[in-house]
Amino acid sequence: MSGAEGKVVVITGASSGIGEATALLLAERGAKVVLGARGLDRLEALADRIIMPVPPLDDLRVEEWEEMIDINIKGVLYGIAAALPVFRKQGFGHFVNTASTAGYKTVPNQSVYSGTKFAVRAISEGLRQEAGDKLRVTIISPGFVRTDFVDAVTDPELRAQLAESREKFAIGPDAIARAIAFAIEQPADIDVNEIVIRPTAQG
């Protein structure tokens, strides 16, 4: 019997990429998956603003910064607010929050994105410390993953560079899904706090 069997797992961003791969894998392993995603049109519109690398700070895209903060930070907080009372009432639960390797290292043109991912790590670690011995918290920090974010980059030169890199060394979203499944499938007294997973060729 799989460690995921019978567990209820809520997955946001389940329409593609890591969310989709995670949903498929955990459902296959017997979990009951609850899926959420914005409409396709909304996803495509947001992809232009959220994907990395983002424009330099000199571009002063304040509205895009606010949207990134709303999704990457507030989205995690709202998820915690929705699930924490349920977890407390039932006496168990497991948060899995997606950060990024950008949450460890900031590089040019990723300042705001990187800042949001540092925040996800800080919030998740604080939650882990407050959670007590009945709740588990895992941070998944992926590197370069083979998803369709490259297609939404509007700068043709940058899009071509990213597409080339994606084809050379990006890992499939199923690798991230396996890491998430690993954390979820551990016995109740084991808390996998953080997993960093990236291509071997990523610097």
Q: What is the set of active-site residues?
A: 113
Cα–Cα distance, 87 to 135 (Å, whole number) = 7
Which tokens is 94 given?
A: 């497991």
